[in-house]
Structure 1
Amino acid sequence: MFSNLNPFLETIITGIIAYVAIILVLRLSGKRTLAKWNSFDFVVTIALGSVFASVLLSTKDAFGKGILGFALLVLLQYIITWISVRTSVIQKLIKSEPALLLYRGEMQHDVMKKERIAEGEVLAALRTSGVSAVEDADAVILETDGSFSVIKNIDDSSASALKDVREFDRTKMARAN
């Protein structure tokens, strides 16, 4: 890629570019791509395995570049998580929001379509939670890790656990009018 550069500088530049690219692709592909993993778990796990394989299989500068690659991944992981905990803008860029799929027995088809969730998946989440009738659930939420949360009873005046759920306030207000 950068054949005129020092091999260690090339590893740093390539590592940073690849890391950012993988995160962006995963964010664009949506929550369902990872199902139970967040983007960072996925990237770090796969990237560390790949670096390890390169160290084992490569013959030129393998050890030094491999150690540098490991260190770079760990450093990037630390920096991104450190910044995201302190900056809401960065947190919103790298982390998705939970999505409201069902509210007070009504499927939120526009949200389901955007999140690529079929009605059957919402029904399965209800059954798994012991709910046999759609009308008996107040909410089904697609969480940031791709899992479903089923809430049987919502007290709208104190639903503080739903404050970060996209569409909750809008849906609640629309039903009130």
Structure 2
Amino acid sequence: MIFDNTWLDIAARGILLAAAAIIWIVILIRMNGLRSLSKMTNFDFVMTVALGSLVAGAAQSSDWKGFAQALAAMAGLFFIQFTAAIIRKSSDTAENVMQNQPVFLMRNGEFCENGLKATRVARSDLIAKLREANVLELSSVRAAVLETTGDVSILHGDRLEETLIENVKRV
């Protein structure tokens, strides 16, 4: 009998349910669009982590009710993300409430000590990011920014267009 408690049936159920959950996510991503699993905002990142947890829960479901509930929760997350994106786009107040502001960690070759302290980023971590960005001289760094997603953007070169840093917070 399929899906009794033998190790083979348990493994088959896990594989089948995991595959079904992944197919469901692909369908939801196709409906919701390319931004579904982006990491543009902290909200997007939380969505991605929550989806992973729900896939794991779906794959481990011992009954169809638990599996269906995990699939419904996934659809709910996509709906919430879609709604939040519309609200953020239409209201500056909502944008400010839902989204953190990027912070300068370096500006014009100088470390922003207040920014490093406020964001709890160690100078050594920032230096590692500078190396990753192939920075050869600190004086060439126009800006190092801790983005809302936790990524660090390094802007270096001869000049910097102000539009690229217009919403970055100076601490």
1:121 aligns with 2:141: no
In 2, Cα distance between the equivalents of 1:54 and 1:92? 33
Which of these residues, 40, 51, 54, is aligned with residue 48 of structure 1? Answer: 51
What is the TM-score normalised by the length of structure 2? 0.63
In 2, Cα distance between the equivalents of 1:153 and 1:142? 21
Between 1:46-55 and 1:120-129, the stretch displaced more is: 46-55
Contact 1:143 1:149 in 2 (8 A): no
1:76 Cα deviation (Å)?
Answer: 1.0
1:93 aligns with 2:94: no
In 2, Cα distance between the equivalents of 1:71 and 1:140? 37
Contact 1:123 1:134 in 2 (8 A): no
Identity %: 25
The number of residues matched between the two structures is 131
Question: Deviations along 1:15-37, whole A, 9 cap, x unmatched?
Answer: xxxxxxxxxxxxxxxxxxxxx67
Which of these residues, 103, 107, 111, is aligned with residue 103 of structure 1? Answer: 107
SS at match of 1:61: helix
1:82 Cα deviation (Å)?
Answer: 1.2
In 2, Cα distance between the equivalents of 1:62 and 1:71? 14
Q: 1:64 to 1:130 in 2, by over 3 A?
A: closer
Contact 1:137 1:150 in 2 (8 A): yes
| Unpaired runs of at least 5, structure 1 | 1-35, 171-177
Contact 1:102 1:139 in 2 (8 A): yes
Q: Which residue of 2 aligns with 1:142?
A: 146
In 2, Cα distance between the equivalents of 1:123 and 1:46? 28
Aligned residue identity for 1:50: S
Question: Deviations along 1:95-152, whole A, 9 cap, x unmatched?
Answer: 2222111122221101111111111222223333333222232222222222222223
In 2, Cα distance between the equivalents of 1:148 and 1:132? 16
In 2, Cα distance between the equivalents of 1:87 and 1:133? 41
Q: Which residue of 2 aligns with 1:153?
A: 158
1:42 Cα deviation (Å)?
Answer: 3.1
Aligned residue identity for 1:150: L
| Unpaired runs of at least 5, structure 2 | 1-38
Q: Which residue of 1 aligns with 2:7?
A: none
